[in-house]
Amino acid sequence: MENKKIKFTNTDISNNNQEIINIFKLSPDLNCICTPEGKFIKVNQACEKILGYSEDEILKLGWKNLVHPDDAKNTNKEVEKQLKGENVANFVNRFKCKNKKYKTLEWQASKVINGLVYATARDITSRKESNLALIESESKYKGLFQNMLNGFAYHKIITDKNNNPIDYIFLETNIAFENITGLKREVIINKKVTKIIPGISKQEPNLIEIYGKVALTRKEKKLEIYFKPLNKWFS
């Protein structure tokens, strides 16, 4: 009876090991076992797919030959942490692919165990490129926004419990708006207009009501008014 129990336990261990091997091999993320010195001991199929090298090529190259030169210093710092018994979480660097391009990888890795590091990395190249494209787009938009000849202000409408506009907050303005109105960006941003221009809600026409209606209905409105608090005509 005891022998059967031992045999069953050994089978369990064998099955668990096979499951771990399958997870390692079949994961869509890059999985590897390597040394702190730079040698790959084992890599999975995703390594080959993501980087474009064969398994033999990756093992011969080692990870230090794949890290982008600009990322080498920070990568070595992470390895030093691992040697001190720390795990690595969400560390990002770039690895050179066979086609000479670089992939941006986000790493999770163990501390050094018996001279080895167990690591997994997710390919975040597309996400990184999308973020950079967004930043570039925002930069172009801000440049266009700030160089407009017309004054422009972006507001957040505040309503009462009945959804009636009662105030608005300045979220962004351009240089032309400052020059035309005399209201400085650093003074008004994130401030309520009723604090910046006291009595504005009693002016005719009521700009809070007009802007609020535009925001709530999403229908534009053109108007030409004399705004007494600033002693200016606007259109």
pLDDT digits (tens, 9 = 90+) for 219-231: 888 888 888 888 8
Identify whether residues 88 and 196 lie together within a single domain. Answer: no
For residue 1, what pLDDT is reported? 44
Position 22 scores a pLDDT of: 65
As a whole number of angstroms, the distance between CA 152 and CA 234 comes to 12
In a domain, 140, yes or no: no
The sign of the torsion formed by the CA atoms of 121, 48, 117, 29 equals: positive
Domain contains 95:
yes
Do 118 and 53 share a domain, yes or no? yes
Q: pLDDT tens across 160-195, in order?
A: 999 999 999 999 888 888 988 899 999 999 999 999
Q: Sorting pLDDT into bands at 50, 70 and 90, what band is 202?
A: confident
* Domain membership flag for residue 230: yes
| pTM of the predicted model as reported, rounded to 2 decimal places | 0.54
**Same-domain status, 152 and 222:** yes
Confidence at 43, pLDDT banded by 50, 70, 90: very high
Are 10 and 56 found together in one domain? yes
Residue-wise pLDDT tens digits, 98-120: 999 999 999 999 888 888 989 99
- In terms of domains, do 6 and 120 share one? yes
> Residue 62 sits in a domain of what CATH number?
3.30.450.20
Domain that holds residue 56: 2-129
Neighbours of 74 (CB within 10 A): 13
Residue 143 covered by a domain: no
